[in-house]
Structure 1
Amino acid sequence: MSAMILGGFLFFSISIGGGIAWLVSKLFQNSKAGLSLLCGGFLVGLLAVDIIPNALKMYKSFGIILGVLIGYLFFLVLRNLVHPSIGQSPSVYLLMFAILIHTIPLSMTIGSLMENSIVGITITASVILHHLPEGFALTTAFLTQRKKPWKLFLGFLGLSISFSLFIWIGHYVNLSIKEQGVLMGISIGLIAATSISEFILHNLKVVRAISFIGYILIGYLLSSLFHLLL
């Protein structure tokens, strides 16, 4: 299984997740605040039920904690750099960057196993299923900010190319467990900071308290549903 083919599978996976997000957005009548809170709740759920538990099983706590701190510092720096104005949120770009970092340990691990044909089918299935929620989250984020569809397409394409590139790099360069843990921690820190600050707290006073809690819970339950199904 070549790196480019696996990159194609990732594009296919996140596109399906994006299609599901588009259908869900119709239920909310494209409410910007509602979709933002939904995305925030979904990302918190994704961290709580999937990313953090898996990271703690695979990597040492110290590396993850260090990565989370670095990720939060990245968030503060990037937020100031990409804020074109006070009223416009850079959450889409921060989330895209966080998911890109999140794919690096996985893609490099896949690269190191490329010559093992036994794991080929398992890796392919993992790539297809694992990135459905990420496509959902990214598309929801794009919808909240009324971004053009072609920008989302370019984002998906960029992630797929990066995924293929790091698979190729992983075939020749091995990251240590500590380094992978730090990268995973950076991803967790960026996703957590972005979801809480940019999607949830940013809309704290925009909707009523009941709606605020309801949107977040729906997003969290959707992430739990993805986890159970996948």
Structure 2
Amino acid sequence: MSIVIIGGFLLISISVGGMIAWIFSTLFHYTTHGLSLVCGGFLIGLLILDIIPSAFQLYELFALLLGCVIGYCLFHLLHSLHHIQNTSVSLLTIAMILHTIPLSLTIGNLLGNAALTMPIIISLILHHIPEGFALSTALLSQGEKYWRLFCYFIIFSMFFSFFVWAGQYWSFTLKVQGILMGLSIGLIAITSLTELIMQPFRKTTAITALSSILFGFLMSYLFHLL
């Protein structure tokens, strides 16, 4: 299986998530604040339903907590750099890339192994549709152009492909992977709560805000069932 083909599958997967986000934003005529709240609710649901339970099964608690603390510090560090635009999108992009590193390294380690079949690779990569949905709603809430969505997806798939390639030659220990996963969880959690939920919550009505957050959470639950 070629690394380029694997990266192409990931690009398709997150692009599908992006198209779903665009369709929902168009159908329901969400404002930028509404999209932020939907994205925040979706990411909270993604953490509760998928990422955190899986992380606790695979990694040590200390490594995850240490990663979360590092993520919290990184969040405040990036916020102190006022020249960075769209901080929430930048943080989410970093968090999503970190989230894919353990998986991409594992795929790289297994390349050429008969146990790594095409259906397994496709099923693993399809799990990144939610990442495409989350990044797209975050970008659309910032008023980004549609063509920039695809640029983010290409960058995302390039990082994924790089770590698949790197996984053929080296791999992280479970502790390091746990720290990376905790870092990803910390960044996603604090960005969702502070940037995507709390800030726009103050700028819209309580009913509209709560319904948008609930809609995002329900979307994460639907992805969880797939």
Q: Same fold (TM over 0.5)?
A: yes
Q: Which string of whole-angstrom CA distances, capped at 9 and with x for unpartnered residues, describes residues 63-103 of structure 1?
A: 0111011011111111222x448xx7421111111101111
Q: Could you tell which deviates more after superposition, 71-80 or 160-169?
A: 71-80
The match for 2:189 is 192
The unaligned stretches of length 5 or more in structure 2 are none
Q: Which string of whole-angstrom CA distances, capped at 9 and with x for unpartnered residues, describes residues 152-185 of structure 1?
A: 2111001111101001111100211101000000
> Does 2:34 correspond to 1:30?
no
114 and 193 in structure 1: CA distance in 2 versus 1, 3 angstrom threshold: same
> Does 2:69 correspond to 1:72?
no
- Deviation (angstroms), 1:122: 4.2
The match for 1:144 is 141
Normalising by structure 2, what TM-score?
0.96
Q: Which amino acid aligns with 1:64?
A: L
Q: In structure 2, what is the Cα distance between the partners aligned to 1:162 and 1:66?
A: 24
The match for 1:160 is 157
Aligned residue runs from structure 1 range 24-173, under 5 A: 24-81=24-81, 83-84=82-83, 89-173=86-170
> Does 2:191 correspond to 1:220?
no
SS at 1:172's partner residue?
Answer: coil
Instruction: Say if 2:39 and 2:196, in contact at 8 Å, map to a contact too.
Output: yes
Q: Which amino acid aligns with 1:46?
A: L
Instruction: Say if 1:79 and 1:94, in contact at 8 Å, map to a contact too.
Output: no
- Deviation (angstroms), 1:225: 0.6
Instruction: Say if 2:37 and 2:201, in contact at 8 Å, map to a contact too.
Output: no
Pairwise CA RMSD: 1.4
SS at 2:115's partner residue?
Answer: helix
* Identity among equivalent pairs (%): 53
- Deviation (angstroms), 1:206: 0.9
Q: Which amino acid aligns with 1:29?
A: H
Q: Could you tell which deviates more after superposition, 1-10 or 118-127?
A: 118-127
Aligned residue runs from structure 1 range 175-186, under 5 A: 175-186=172-183
Q: In structure 2, what is the Cα distance between the partners aligned to 1:75 and 1:215?
A: 24
Q: Which amino acid aligns with 1:150?
A: W
Q: Could you tell which deviates more after superposition, 202-211 or 180-189?
A: 202-211
Q: Which amino acid aligns with 2:23?
A: L
The match for 1:14 is 14
Q: Which amino acid aligns with 1:21?
A: A
